[in-house]
Structure 1
């Protein structure tokens, strides 16, 4: 399977390595990036046969079977539409788009072309989270009542790369998808969010919020809480919890592995310093599953409607902060 990668940044680099070395039967055919020399450098590093500054080149290439989109979020919808119209299977990093109108347009193109679309909500592929979902699916945990999802980044954000709603659209959107994933079949109906610039108070006047807590009420009565902060002094921290009628499951503790060293200075565990360190296996697994989906071996595990559900919550959360009150999902515009 020949796959083209669009975007050679931090996430694109990890995906390029996975496509080249970690997923059998897949070849990195081309790299696309508009920055001068960026695609060529990555293509050379990973043995891709072509490098382009314009994605139209890979869409026009009949030997390319699929594309992996790791470009900035504002370009996702247009790239999905173009890829679908070219008949390419699509793996797109989250979010699928930044507005519901753009996402619906992209999903319409996917449906019309009848191509595969998988969205990069990686937490579904982490063993802890997948195991918790199995407990829900087989009835062991019972009907979910309270859910919690946490994302704390290790810091170092460049304010030039942070938009006013980044914390909702690109960070907490993972947590919003997690809440839905752990409450299957339920639909979010109301969102209330509070957020501020606590890591970098000087960002506040520009609307660049770095810390947020969001409460999500679902139509089955369950209540979820998602929280995020752009800086955790101890490293990258992703955790989850689902409390149900028959029990509770907790996921994640920020450790790279289960080893704890006990010595004269106390107990020390190795904590992750980045998402690619903590979630490396999930990033590889989601692309491996995508390859199997394209081959027709598996159904799409996380698709356009999942992306739409998460984006709807993200947009409602941002609107809730601006209005200072709870927001019904039906209030969220395109």
Structure 2
């Protein structure tokens, strides 16, 4: 077996050649030590060919990629609706599985994915990138060390970059996206930053404030979700699709002994001062803010495939976050708090 930086090379196939798939392809080919991008599959053959060609990989069909005995692991970056089926097929082919969030859209689907990977005896890791960012990791370590005492108030924010003209892709945003594909990150972050605690109740307020003309089609572009935990902590998860000032992702845990905050808005420490005041450039994308985290999560996955570690984010972790998302959806529909025991 070949080695790279002293690491046995893990040969990976990528399913999904969209924006996030392209990001993972670049990282696997250029930045993840001990990983090799072998093949790229996508229903749009021309997209697979173009992306594979950039990095010396080969374009492939999904079944062909999964049947390749030289591919050790599969990275799934397709549309969310296809995740569960692809996880099950990859497990059936004996491949280690890394899957973008959300790993599935329903509890029945995630349970099938978990069961399939367990039955096949293959690792299953899910892509919650904030867990791999240095500042969020430091926040978690501070909480674990008792640095903030008992968690009392928690907050997680995702505000995607916007444009002055409004939400340009409003017609293409699928119903429930804000809960299952955006706030799912915040739900996982709050669970992770409150170790040992379980959520007991969820209450949601959400609306289409950026593009109200699409509300009847199921668009929700602004939401706040309150989560009560069994250790007494009260958390809020907040999302909006139109932050004109940049990409704004933050986490906060306030407790009996102090507070820890993760996330940042400036893209540089440089500050420009002139006659109108002071100015600082801000982050404009997840690729910019979580560049190192995206690399780290795939490096850690390669270590899992080598047998040197257990998956740092499991299918069960994905299920816990999805449960909160589903509870938030029910709360929005029924205009009431929802106990987590109702969501099974």
Asked if these proteins are the same fold (TM beyond 0.5), I'd say yes
Once residues 334 and 113 of structure 2 are traced to their aligned partners in structure 1, the CA distance between those partners, rounded to angstroms, is: 29
Q: Kindly provide the CA deviation profile for residues 199-224 of structure 1, in whole angstroms up to 9, marking residues without a partner as x.
A: 10101111210000000111211111
Q: Which aligned pairs between 1:174-323 and structure 2 lie closer than 5 A?
A: 174-323=185-334
Number of equivalent positions = 331
Q: Which aligned pairs between 1:8-23 and structure 2 lie closer than 5 A?
A: 8-23=17-32
Q: Does 1:7 find its partner at 2:16? A: yes
**Corresponding residue number in structure 2 for 1:66:** 73
Q: Kindly provide the CA deviation profile for residues 87-138 of structure 1, in whole angstroms up to 9, marking residues without a partner as x.
A: 1111100001000000001000111111111111011111111001001112
Check whether the contact 2:45–2:59 (CA below 8 A) recurs between aligned residues: no
**Corresponding residue number in structure 2 for 1:326:** 337
**Corresponding residue number in structure 2 for 1:80:** 87
Q: Does 1:36 find its partner at 2:45? A: yes
Once residues 269 and 125 of structure 1 are traced to their aligned partners in structure 2, the CA distance between those partners, rounded to angstroms, is: 26
What secondary structure, in the 3-state scheme, does the structure 1 residue paired with 2:219 have?
coil
Q: Does 1:151 find its partner at 2:121? A: no
Gaps of at least 5 residues in structure 1 are none
Once residues 212 and 269 of structure 2 are traced to their aligned partners in structure 1, the CA distance between those partners, rounded to angstroms, is: 36
Deviation of 1:157 (Å)? 5.0
Q: Does 1:100 find its partner at 2:97? A: no
Gaps of at least 5 residues in structure 2 are 1-9
Q: Does 1:51 find its partner at 2:62? A: no
CA RMSD of aligned residues (A): 1.2
Q: Kindly provide the CA deviation profile for residues 280-333 of structure 1, in whole angstroms up to 9, marking residues without a partner as x.
A: 111111111111111122221111111001000001001100000001112125
Once residues 19 and 169 of structure 1 are traced to their aligned partners in structure 2, the CA distance between those partners, rounded to angstroms, is: 26
Once residues 308 and 269 of structure 2 are traced to their aligned partners in structure 1, the CA distance between those partners, rounded to angstroms, is: 33
Once residues 147 and 234 of structure 1 are traced to their aligned partners in structure 2, the CA distance between those partners, rounded to angstroms, is: 24
Q: TM-score, normalised by structure 1?
A: 0.96
Q: Kindly provide the CA deviation profile for residues 210-246 of structure 1, in whole angstroms up to 9, marking residues without a partner as x.
A: 0000001112111110000011011110011101221
Once residues 171 and 297 of structure 1 are traced to their aligned partners in structure 2, the CA distance between those partners, rounded to angstroms, is: 31
